[in-house]
Amino acid sequence: MKEIVGNPLHLTSLNHISLVCSSVEESINFYQNVLGFVPIRRPDSFDFNGAWLFSYGIGIHLLQSDDPEKMPKKKEINPKDNHISFQCESMGAVEKKLKEMGMEYTRQKVVEGGIEVDQLFFHDPDGFMIEICNCDNLPVIPLAGQMLRTCSRLNLQMKQQPMPVVKL
């Protein structure tokens, strides 16, 4: 069996994901107005249509398809398909907003050891799957039995801080 190495490439974080889209403008609208991403400057040296967006510590790079008509369109929302997942503060607020926007979505619940995680799945304009969840409820436990972690650095920091004493 191979030896497991902790960080052989000395990675520090996920920088961005890159998505080919049929309409950069339509995708900018979706990622900006549905998910809250902000358009940012991209290098002027690029000789192709695209856009960069940023939020939540991650970038999304949108690339205009050379042949938008031939891009496959996914109709069925399949939670087992490739997707990117975002944590949220309130699943109820997210579901309410998706309904208000007329977005088609699928709801799922994962139960593990008495812990419940709610998930909402929907597509971007080109059928790329988006998940919104409260996955931070589920601890991240490395198989090697290392330190217990959660999905969110903020949550981890909060768990490491002593709870304030409240006098009644």
Exactly one of 3, 95, 100, 131 is catalytic; name it. 131
Tell me, yes or no, if 131 is annotated catalytic: yes
**Structure token digits, residue 145:** 């039995």
| C-alpha–C-alpha distance, residues 121 and 135, integer Å | 13
49-84 core/surface letters (b: 16 or more CB in 10 A; e: else) = ebbbbeeeeebbbbbbbeeeeeeeeeeebeeeeebe
Left, alpha or beta for 66 (phi > 0: left; psi -120 to 50: alpha)? alpha
Residues annotated as catalytic (active site), given as ranges:
131
